[in-house]
Amino acid sequence: MTVTAERPAELTPRRPDRGPGSRADGWIRRAPLLPALVFTIIVTQLPFLFTIYYSLQSWNLVRPGSRQFVGVDNYILVFTDSQFRQVALNTVLLTAGAVLFSLLLGLLFALLLDRAFFGRGFIRTLLITPFLITPVAAALLWKTVLFDPTYGLINFVLSPFGAGDTDWISTFPLTSVMIALVWQWTPFMMLLILAGLQSQPHDVLEAARVDGANTWGVFREVTIPHLRRFIELGIVLGAIYLINTFDAIYMMTQGGPGTASANLPFYIYQRAFLGFDIGQSAAMGVVVVVATIIVATFALRLIFRSFSGGEET
Amino acid sequence: MAEVEFDQASRIYTAGAKPAVNRLDLEIEDGEFVVLVGPSGSGKSTALRMLAGLEEIDGGQIRIGGRNMVGVPSRDRDIAMVFQNYALYPNKTVGENMAFPLKMRGVPKEERASKVRAAAEILGLSEYLDRKPRALSGGQRQRVAMGRAIVREPQVFLMDEPLSNLDAKMRVSTRTEIAAMQRRLGVTTVYVTHDQVEAMTMGDRVALLKDGELQQFATPAELYDQPANAFVAGFIGSPAMNLFTLPVSEQGVRMGSSELALPRSLRSRISDAGLSTVQLGIRPEQWTVGADGNGSGVKAQVDVVEELGSDAFLYAHLDDGEQTPVVVRTSGRSGARRGDQIALTPTSEDLHLFDPSTGERV
């Protein structure tokens, strides 16, 4: 993206025909950037144009020769598809839930790590570890080692209390995926909030104590307002990553049972590569991209507003 | 309003090391303005923070209004503090900043607003109440910090170098404002600074600390005229007092090749203390300058002349073989120049004598 600032007309000098400042000179200086621009267009914009083109076709790979132009029929189908609405809701629930809970847990751990105690460095490393694990491996770990109904650790721990026979993943598919995601994303939120906590000036905290605030008062009145923009950043970045979740769903539930734990990326994948319905899935993809652009615009505006404000005194 | 007592109060950061504040004894009267002054690392800020409840009291007691403060959290001490960097709440407006201590004490909203308005009126902040601190100048922020302290009507004001972030001119005017406001409100105030001019001009009494130990606690005039030891003598006064360690002779002391006659009262103090060498302190204004060659006085050569208009300071060195530096105050435009030979005679009889081994006043 380029930002061009309009210059007042009287300040714009006449462009020379040759030499520095001429139109040719401008292109010579921009030329080294062109390969990157061309590459970006090829890998992001062309596929999107193709997707739009496919979305206007009825084209199922299992029925060769059936390909034909159908206009916006695919889009009408998308909006009347109750499964699509269910999956869209799943996406919102999964993203919002995972962001919210990892944020709350991250805040809690960050507050603990912000105080000095023996072995803090070691504990901090342990807490960061989930973030360093490959998402596929993490999902597999939750599916087999922890949630498995026969030899999972959770049922093993619960069995002495007579509650160890739940098949967690088929009973609570969306919640199970969400738990695995929260486990992976809590360290990210924790690090972000910890950075916020440690950038807080000490004298402001001391002033609040002298001014009569108890621990909760200091936290509510001084720390939370200071952390606001770190929390906002966590929400936006977390949402951007988590809305695209695929690996955890693929590994743990395959979107099932039915579409109970599928989100939009996974559902589109299913329709395109398991149902081979290129036209339908392309239309869904376009709808998702447009919706994402709308949401992302607001989210990014939020980030830039809270970070360009510059709260430091 | 209350009196404040430090009773053998100590702060020890690491066991076995020298305490940051060592058995400090201060009795501050109700309504008094006391300045804690000292070089950096003297423990003055630590002492203030102990009083504020931001540092532990590891030994002894601190009492506010007769009540022992050991183990009492800051919020229950009924104090207000002004910090060096003001420590305003960046997300709150000026009005919210000033109302915060009242809010934390559960004061109703209307009462908070009227108190904040009254304080803002006094401090000239009325039109800024809706602004955030970052939209204010340094001087205005400083006043917001003051306002936040005074709306509380606390028993004690604590101020930790509140002027050090202001420019020189602001500092002088704000200094007077703070002193005047304190007199009007009559609230006991403990003020920390490293600037001896602030200490001398603002304090009813001044406590001078060094390495965590109290050196002297007295009125500014007493500190200047009767310094308890050579450190106090050297710290208070600008330029600093001239201190010479000299052998005692018949009529006074030997200063280089010449003999400096001392009045009988001073000679008897030296002999009572049984000293063979003595540390002699002469303030820059306690010299008269004569042209060289009239025989009397200590000979010196001028290195630098600082002309201030009303006064001039001559930075010179003595002709004693060791080039001992000496500072002399003369009237302005005295015509002295670099390289001039001058003869110096102490004018006053109130010269300061210190024991060279202990530094104590003789």
Q: Return d(Cα B299, Cα B268) in angstroms, integer.
A: 26
Per-residue pLDDT of chain B (362 residues; tens, 9 = 90+): 689 999 999 999 888 888 889 999 999 999 999 999 999 889 999 999 999 999 989 988 999 998 999 989 998 999 999 999 999 999 899 999 999 999 998 899 999 999 999 989 888 889 999 999 999 988 899 999 999 999 988 999 999 999 988 888 888 888 998 999 899 889 999 999 999 899 999 999 999 999 999 999 999 999 999 999 999 999 998 888 999 988 888 888 888 777 888 888 888 888 888 888 899 999 999 888 877 655 677 888 899 999 888 889 999 988 877 888 999 998 887 778 888 888 888 887 788 999 988 888 88
What SS3 state is found at B96? Answer: helix
pLDDT attached to residue B227? 92
Q: Return d(Cα B130, Cα B328) in angstroms, integer.
A: 53
Nearest-CA distance B34 → chain A (Å): 20
Q: Return d(Cα B307, Cα B300) in angstroms, integer.
A: 19
Task: Give the CA dihedral B238, B244, B245, B251, nearest 10 degrees.
Answer: -130
Q: Residue B19 corresponds to which tokens in the numbers above?
A: 């305490």
Within 13 A of A175's CA, how many CA atoms are on the CB side? 7
Option in B85, B105, B158 nearest A212 (CB): B105
Nearest-CA distance A208 → chain B (Å): 8
Q: Return d(Cα B29, Cα B65) in angstroms, integer.
A: 10
A312 pLDDT more than 50: no
pLDDT attached to residue A157? 85
DSSP code of residue A5: P
Contact with chain A for residue B134, Cβ under 8 A: yes
pLDDT attached to residue B226? 92
Confidence of residue A60 (pLDDT cuts 50, 70, 90): confident
Q: Do A207 and B83 touch (CB under 8 A)?
A: yes
* Range A109-116 average pLDDT: 91
A311 pLDDT more than 50: no
Q: Do A225 and B101 touch (CB under 8 A)?
A: no
Q: Which domains does chain A have, with CATH numbers?
A: 23-55 (no CATH), 81-307 (1.10.3720.10)
How is the beta sheet containing B79-82 ordered, strand by strand?
B79-82, B156-160, B188-193, B33-37, B205-210, B213-218
Q: Do B87 and A225 touch (CB under 8 A)?
A: no
Helix ranges restricted to H, chain B: 44-52, 94-104, 109-123, 138-150, 168-185, 196-202, 220-225, 230-235, 264-273
Q: Are the CB atoms for B331 and B349 separated by under 8 Å?
A: no
- What backbone phi and psi angles, to 5 degrees, belong to B256? 65, -130
A107 pLDDT more than 90: yes
Within 13 A of A228's CA, how many CA atoms are on the CB side? 14
pLDDT attached to residue B256? 75
Q: Are the CB atoms for A229 and A311 separated by under 8 Å?
A: yes
- Say how many C-beta atoms besides its own lie within 10 A of residue A160's C-beta: 8
Q: Do B91 and A226 touch (CB under 8 A)?
A: yes
pLDDT attached to residue A306? 64
pLDDT digits (tens, 9 = 90+) for A208-267: 999 988 889 999 989 999 998 899 889 888 988 888 889 989 988 888 788 888 888 899
Which candidate in A203, A209, A210, A306 is best for mutational testing of the B interface (most B CBs within 10 A)?
A210
A188 pLDDT more than 90: yes
B:152-181 residues touching chain A, CB 8 A cutoff: 152, 158
% chain A with pLDDT above 90: 29
* Residue whose C-alpha is closest to residue A236's, from A78, A96, A69, A30: A96
- How far is residue A294 from each of residues A224, A291, A297, A299, measured CA to CA in Å? 28, 5, 5, 9
Nearest-CA distance A214 → chain B (Å): 7
Which candidate in B45, B48, B54 is best for mutational testing of the A interface (most A CBs within 10 A)?
B54
A6 pLDDT more than 60: no
pLDDT digits (tens, 9 = 90+) for A32-43: 999 999 999 999
Distance between start and end Cα atoms, chain B = 39
Contact with chain A for residue B141, Cβ under 8 A: yes
Chain A interface, Cβ < 8 Å to B = 201, 203-204, 206-214, 217, 221-222, 225-226, 228, 310-313
* Residue whose C-alpha is closest to residue A285's, from A5, A21, A78, A144: A78
Give residue for tokens 């619960």: A158
A308 pLDDT more than 80: no
* Range A182-195 average pLDDT: 94
Mean pLDDT, chain A, as a whole number?
A: 85
Nearest-CA distance B85 → chain A (Å): 8
Residues 6+ away with beta carbon under 8 Å from B297 = B258, B290, B343, B344, B345
Confidence of residue A153 (pLDDT cuts 50, 70, 90): confident
pLDDT attached to residue A35? 92
Q: Do A212 and B141 touch (CB under 8 A)?
A: no
Which residue of chain B has the CA closest to A207? B87
Option in B53, B92, B104 nearest A217 (CB): B104
Please give the ipTM for the structure prediction: 0.83
A2 pLDDT more than 50: no
Burial B164-181 (b: 16+ CB within 10 A, else e): eebeeeebeebbeebbeb
* Range A288-307 average pLDDT: 80
* Range A39-63 average pLDDT: 88
Partnered with residue B7 across adjacent β-strands are B61
Q: Do B90 and A228 touch (CB under 8 A)?
A: no
Contact with chain A for residue B89, Cβ under 8 A: yes
